[in-house]
Amino acid sequence: MRTRLLIISFLTLYSGLFAQVTLQHRIGIGHNPTTKTYADISTNALYSLPNWHFQAGVNWQGSSYLGTSLQALTLGAGYNIPISQPLSAELCYMYHPHARNLISEQTVALSLLYLPSHFDIQIGTYVRFLQSQQIGNETVTESKLFLYQLNAYIMPKNNIYNAMLGVRSYDTFDIEQAGNPIYVLQLSYRPKVMQYFIEGCVKPAGFYNILVHPFHTQLRGGIVWTP
């Protein structure tokens, strides 16, 4: 009897811990003049506590032009501010190896995230470090940069069916210049613990430099699992 109670207690504790994990798996296909047509696959994990949450993700890309390579790694942590509104402070680190161009890119971002039932609103700042092996590992720093994300949902976010329209400079594995936004249209279906989604993304050619920021399109879909 005692052994049975221990097993039940362990399973209850395990299920409670596991219920705090959210997994997102996403695949996509995109095109721009730099990488041509490419395939994209990523996995992102979120672990939530009452006041904190932690995130880690990895993104791979493959194309006939550039081959297959690790595109990005990301780590993050957030603190749920103890007020009546769903507001949190977020710290994020991104690493892009860019091995083909002998350049590595590291980004540290700090932001505020507000999540009411019909919106995702995120604003913040970031610092980017670019290191080139072609010029003696010299590091160039970009600082005092602005990031944002605004998503608007037709229905409350816990609805079974939903549609979202977003504009952002901050995506899961990328932070663009504020003047080069990404536009996103998403359709989703959430029957129970699993959410299925498909979304189209368009990034117009950059206002400042069309060669560095070319026109970019992407179609991607995936699942979000919250057991």
| Model confidence pLDDT, tens digit, residues 7-37 | 444 444 444 554 489 999 999 999 877 777 8
pTM score of the predicted model = 0.83
pLDDT, one tens digit per residue, over 39-74 is 999 999 999 998 999 999 999 988 766 667 888 999
CA distance linking residue 61 with residue 199, whole number of Å? 18
Report residue 103's pLDDT band, with 50, 70 and 90 as the boundaries: confident
Integer angstrom CA distances of residue 80 from 48, 167, 227: 10, 24, 21
CATH of the domain at 110: 2.40.230.20
- Number of independent structural domains in the chain: 1
For residues 169 and 177, the answer to whether their CB atoms sit within 8 Å is yes
Domain of residue 48, residue span: 2-225
